[in-house]
Structure 1
Amino acid sequence: MNIAFFLLPKREVVYMTPEATMRQALERMEFHRFSAIPLIDDSGHYIGTLTEGDLLWKLKNTPDLSFENTDKIRLKDIPLRWQNQTVSINAKMEDLITLAVAQNFVPVVDDNEVFIGIVRRREIIEYCSEQIFSSKLIREA
């Protein structure tokens, strides 16, 4: 099965740009209750995944940084510890299963490597569950 069926399109994905501030990211992640979000550059390319851990390490390792002045820090200045592996829109669902073990979402790109959305781990697990359940029913019949 092609992953386009499971794709959450870019317009529905919560993401940030490298020019956004640390405060904007903190507030957006808190509002949506996400622990990680994609970073997309001005050309539309996926450049990494910003995590709560990245923000906490930046706060810990930057003298005199507090929540009040996080609006002075650009996301491009925060080291990212995690780079979710991308897949092509032409990938098959089976290609995503191994990625879902370590990633809570898989960024999807088009033929020009432009970010077009994500497939969430939840949809991958639901797909696997349906495959297991349906094959179990066939064997029992």
Structure 2
Amino acid sequence: MLIKPVEDMLLRNADHYLIPADIVANVQTDNNLYHAFLVLTKIKYSKIPVLDNAGHFEGLISLPMITEKMLGFDQLNTEVLMDCRVSEVMERDVKTVERVEDVETSLHLMIDNPFVPVVDANGIFNGIVTRREFMKSFNFLTHEIGKQYDMIEKDFSTSEKAKS
């Protein structure tokens, strides 16, 4: 559980955390891998969301997932990209959050991921929360928390000596 002053300060910038769905690069489950390969190559992101035709979040796709499908024994088979669908290789078991204000869950998920998909209760993709935006807020927090809250410095050296 986050301590209240930290949570309060992180929530001050919550309106900046969400990158809305309409500006997040994505592909659809029925797109071929060639299309996904082009999108990922052009935008230079490691992973992007996969949506169905109605805007429901279905998972993530990355360049390594696509190149794994192209690998043959002695050469790359690029022809497979036209025949295979994104749904055949995408990552399906992806943790999401419903609300941008779910700071603690987002922070836990961003330890291993550069972004967290934000999906409403009906599965509609609303956008992403990025590690970058959280780091900007964390930077603000580390510089400002002492100005806005009374911070008492504890002397841990005596408690460490007591344990010895």
Q: Same fold (TM over 0.5)?
A: yes
User: Is 2:59–2:90's contact at 8 Å kept on the other side of the alignment?
Assistant: no
Q: In 2, Cα distance between the equivalents of 1:24 and 1:88?
A: 29
Of 117, 121, 144, 1:111 maps to 121
1:111–1:104: structure 2 CA closer, same or farther, 3 Å change rule?
same
What is the alpha-carbon root mean square deviation over aligned residues?
Answer: 2.6
The 5-angstrom pairing of residues 25-36 of structure 1 reads 25-36=36-47
Of 103, 113, 131, 1:121 maps to 131
- Further displaced range: 84-93 or 107-116: 84-93
Of 59, 72, 81, 1:70 maps to 81
Q: In 2, Cα distance between the equivalents of 1:76 and 1:61?
A: 20
User: Is 2:100–2:129's contact at 8 Å kept on the other side of the alignment?
Assistant: no
Identical counterparts, % of pairs: 24
2:106 aligns to what? 96
Shift in Å, 1:79: 4.9
The gaps in structure 1 that reach 5 residues or longer are none
1:40 aligns to what? 51
The gaps in structure 2 that reach 5 residues or longer are 1-10, 152-164
TM-score with structure 2 setting the length? 0.73
- Further displaced range: 31-40 or 126-135: 126-135
- Say which one has the larger Rg: 2
1:18–1:61: structure 2 CA closer, same or farther, 3 Å change rule?
farther
The size of the alignment, in residue pairs, is: 139
TM-score with structure 1 setting the length? 0.83
